[in-house]
Chains A and B, each alone.
Chain A
Amino acid sequence: MFIFLVCFIPSLLVTLGLFIWHRYQYDKSGKGTNYRSYMKTQEVTLKEFLISCGLTVILAAVSLGINNMVRDSGFIDTKYIHGVVTEKYKDSVSCEHSYQICTTSNKTTTCTTYYEHFEDYDWVVKTTAGNLTIDRVDRQGSSTPPRWKSVVIGEYATQAYNYMNYLKNDKHTLFKANASGGAGIPQPRIYDYYRFSPVIGFPEIEEQVKQYNSRSNLNVNYVVVTGKNRDFIDSIVKDWEGVDINQILIVINLEKSNTVGYIRVATYANGYKNQYLIKDIEDSSIGKPVNNQLVTEHFSKIKSDFTRIPKDEFIEKKEEYRPSLGLIIFLVLLNLAVSIVTHIYMKRNPVA
């Protein structure tokens, strides 16, 4: 509301000031003088002034909206949902490629819009995680894209979704490590439209993890390293500490015999409400061989003990947002500039 008032009051005062000053200049000029006749053509009427006043309210409301957008953009994060391809089809859509031809006769210009095709085609892949479209190989989409042809029904597919992560930019929270670990192992991302590798460093368990992820709405990620010390493992967890709301990160350091030497598990908000699951997986895994059986054990624990944190759990963080001085100055100047330009426009062009 502060932003609304700080934008509204100065721009209304400027609008009012310009109107009074302009009317005063117009009224004090004598009848029949050149100045008066010049001014008369550029008069701002009372109706135009009222429109300007209404505009200042709208502008201040828009500024408040911009401020809220800037605030919310700081919270937007990405989570991954996994599924399987269920269907693929060619979809007819209205043509997106239009052009205009304008003709002028008797100082009147007439423009007609033409479309290149009757319809365009999208190459859609339907998955349980959401639908996606394969890029066209020609302008209309009439030729079958080879990538669409290679899509297999039943293969794993991942989609990215935005959500509001109120911890994302909180530098003071106790529920996120803010220091970077420096391990240099990046989080997996979607590649090739919908492909996603949830396992880093141990492909033998990837199929099992993908299968579970596709059925659970969770994003369980494994990072398996060999011969690293605890600090390195901890630094991976630190790097990924901003794990997503549906993500479970399991980092394992392998012993020589492919058994778990050291393990760290991380869930959203420093494991908030999931401590039992974390400790249970960590304590029960030490010394066991890393294989599908261990992964199945982990999934069984996740299924019974994982607590989903509601997306609005940390919503009070929104109240901590304060707009930067730069943004405030920008919005105030924007409001003033639009008010002045509107006044000048109305002075030169009769609007009402």
Chain B
Amino acid sequence: MLCITACGRLQIGKRVGAEFGILSLQEELPLNRSLVTTNPPKELEVLFENVPLLGSERREEYDAFFSAIASAEPPSNAVDWMLLKDLVDLGWEIRRERRIKVEIVKLNQTEVICDLLKSTFNKAHRLRSDLNRIFGARTEAQLWASDAETRMSIDARLKEKGHNQDSVLARAYLRGAGEIDAIDKRIARYELRRNEILKQIALRNERKAQRLAKASSDIIDGEFTEAPV
């Protein structure tokens, strides 16, 4: 289906892509090529010409995301297009915030590992200076984050000292609690607003709102499904 890989790339299964009339992003695409097959009317281009994306986000991904939701219930008039755009933008922002949250936890995990490596430094290597110990721990922590083999060996070492993966994760959450809380609050507000838009759509057309609610939830929540490598 639709999912984000570990590196944050959007992938759409070929079957679903074909169903929605969307190309799979795994295929090679020239930059700036629009994937929206459910094209908005030309008169509404003011809403679609400048999508608020970050430097790391691609327009193609946004368009694919838009098409996937729009295909569930294509808009029939200008107000519907406007509400749909809002629904999609909020879904996009929810996804962005979740991605940032994951990155914050990862960063804090690395910091926790670094601290633990410093504190559980093997006393047998007393010949090393304190400076070496600090920089060595930093390098090892970075390797822990990027290399699976090093990660396993460091995990084993830390386990001997009584620190398992769960306790590392708990410490990472504690360390980033403030930021994580702020992100959770923002996500909650986007969700509230998203529900409010669905209510507005339901006032205009009940069935349309139900289909859009299902499509957008499936797509937003689908992001954390690991893509098959």
Bound pair: A and B? no
Enumerate chain A interface residues (CB-CB to B < 8 A): none
Enumerate chain B interface residues (CB-CB to A < 8 A): none
